[in-house]
Structure 1
Amino acid sequence: MELISLSDGDNSFRVRVLGRRSPGVLHLHDRFDAEVLVTSSFVSGRLAMSLSPSDLENWSRALDLLAAGEDICWRDDDHSPEIRIQPYNEEHETAAVRVEDLGGSCVSVFLPMSLEEGWIDEQRRLLVLVRKEWPSEVLQSSPGVYEWRR
C-alpha cells in the first residue's frame, strides 16, 4: 500500500508499506516493512526500510510544513534513507525530491517533478489509508514497556 506517491509521468518517487514487520510480537507489532521506489528515465531503484508509528507522525507533520511552503527532511537518521522534499525548487521551478542512502549504498538521487495541484492533499489521503489498514495496536507506557491497546 502506498504511503507516498509522487509522479509527473517522467519521474516517480514512492514509499510503499508492505505490512507489519513482526505481527503478534508485542514490541515489534507496530513496526512496518516498507520500500522506497525511485524511477526516472535515467535511473530506477528500490531500497528496503522500516517504519514506526513515530515515522508516520513525523510524515504527518512534514505534510503540514510542505503545505506551508517549507522544505522538509523526513527519516533523517543513520539507519534509513534521508528523504528531502522541496515544494518548490528554484533552479528547476518545480517540486523536487532528494533521496540519500548515506548509511548503506551511499547513493543519492535528485528528482525534479512537475506535480499536479493538490498533491499534498493526496499524500494526506494515503497516510489516512495506511493508518486505517494498520492501526497502532501497541502502547509504549514507558521506555521499553509495551502493552496491547484495548
Structure 2
Amino acid sequence: MRADRTEGRGMELISLSDGDNSFRVRVLGRRAPGVLHLHDRLDAEAIVTSGFVSGRLAMSLSPADLEEWSRALDLLAAGQDVRWRDDDHSPEITIQPYHEEQGTVAVRVEDLGGSCVSVFLPLSLEEGWIDEQRKLLGQVVREWPSEVLESSPGAYEWRR
C-alpha cells in the first residue's frame, strides 16, 4: 500500500483547452486510503471554463472508469464520438472529435442527476490532443495504481 503523495495538489486526467474554452477532469487523490473497499476510488472534479460559464462538479472515479477512458481515447482516435461516465450518479461527458456545425472538437457535460445543468463547449484543439490525453491517463494510473482486488462480489483483498 502506498501513501497518497499528491494530496492537496491533484493531477489532470483530462485537459482540453483552446485558450477561450477549457474542460478538465482533475484527480484529487484517493477517496479513503487504506480502507480496503474504497482505497482504489479516486476523488476528482470536472472543471468547465469559458467566457460565458465556469463551474466545478465533484466526481468519483474507479479503476474501471480509467479503463473506460482509455477505450474512449481509442474510439476518439478512430474518429468516433464517445460518451464517458454515462450513469445516474456521475456527470455524463460526451466528446465529439469533430462537431459538424462547429467544425471543431466538442465537449458536452451534463449533470442531469444533480444540478440538471448541461454545458456545450466547442474547442479548437491542436493536432495530437488525443496523445496528450493518453499521457495524462498514464500519469494518473502510475500515481494511483489499483492496489485492491475484488476477488468476488463484495470481497476485497490487497493485490500482491
Q: Which residue of 1 aligns with 2:57?
A: 47
TM-score (norm. length: structure 1): 1.00
Q: Which residue of 2 aligns with 1:14?
A: 24
Give 1:38's aligned residue. Answer: 48
Instruction: Please point out which of 61, 73, 96 is paired with 2:83.
Output: 73
For residue 127 of structure 1, what is the aligned residue in structure 2? 137
| C-alpha distance after superposition, 1:66-112 (max 9, x if no partner) | 00000000000000000000000000000000000000000000000
CA distance in 1 between counterparts of 2:93 and 2:153 reads 27
Identity %: 85
Q: Distance in 2 between matches of 1:111 and 1:87?
A: 12
Q: 1:58 aligns with which of 68, 87, 97?
A: 68
The question of 1:97 aligning with 2:104 is answered: no
Partner residue in 2 for 1:106: 116
Query: 2-side partners of 1:116 and 1:110: how far apart?
Result: 19
* Residue ranges of structure 1 left out of the alignment (5+ in a row): none
Query: What TM-score, normalized by structure 2, do the two folds share?
Result: 0.93
Deviation (angstroms), 1:149: 0.4
Q: Which residue of 2 aligns with 1:29?
A: 39
Stretches of 4+ moved more than 6 A in 1?
A: none
Asked if 1:83 corresponds to 2:83, the answer is no
The alignment yields a C-alpha RMSD, in angstroms, of: 0.3
1:4 — aligned with what? 14
Among 108, 126, 143, the alignment partner of 2:153 is 143
Letter in 1 for 2:153: P
Partners of 1:24 and 1:141 lie apart in 2 by 17
**Per-residue deviation, 1:142:** 1.1
Residue 115 of structure 2: SS of its match in structure 1?
coil
